[in-house]
Amino acid sequence: MANDVTVTVSMSVKPDKLETMLSMIPDGLKETLGRPGVTSVRALRTPDEPLRLMFLNVFASVEASNAYVGWRRESGDFDQLVSMLSEPPRVEVWPVSIDPV
């Protein structure tokens, strides 16, 4: 897994869009996991900040990550997601893994 890249996406959902977002997540994760180069997906939430979500996606490569983002943009999913957020999402790409020795 030395070439894997982890992408984190942190977002704050508009209060009136939270239930819609939460209902979309399970199918969205399944759809993401079915895309080429996607190794794993996970959505996280904390009771301390119920409007915040974190997605952890692992891709086989940076190229696979970029292809996935391009597909989401072309499909219109990205614009739909952004319309439900109270601020732009924070996306971070983590291409270097520090593994145990």
* CATH code: domain of residue 46: 3.30.70.100
Domains contained in the chain, number:
1
Q: Quick check: is 32 in a domain?
A: yes
Q: Which two tokens stand for residue 39?
A: 């190794």
In a domain, 100, yes or no: no
Within a domain: 78:
yes
Q: What is the pLDDT of residue 9?
A: 96
Sequential pLDDT tens for the chain (101 residues): 457 999 999 999 999 999 999 999 999 999 999 999 999 999 999 999 999 999 999 999 999 999 999 999 999 888 899 999 999 999 999 988 888 87
| pLDDT for 2 | 57
What pairs with residue 8 in β-bridges?
56, 92
Task: Give the pLDDT score at 87.
Answer: 96
Conformation bin of residue 76: beta by default, left when phi > 0, alpha when psi is -120 to 50:
left
For residue 101, being part of any structural domain is answered with no
Q: Does 33 reside within a domain?
A: yes
Write b or e for each residue in 22-42: b if 16 or more Cβ atoms lie within 10 A of its Cβ, otherwise e.
eebeeebbeebeeeebbeebe
Structural domain harbouring 87: 5-94
End-to-end alpha-carbon separation of the chain, Å?
14
- Report CA 72 to chain centroid distance, whole Å: 11
> Does residue 99 lie in a domain region?
no
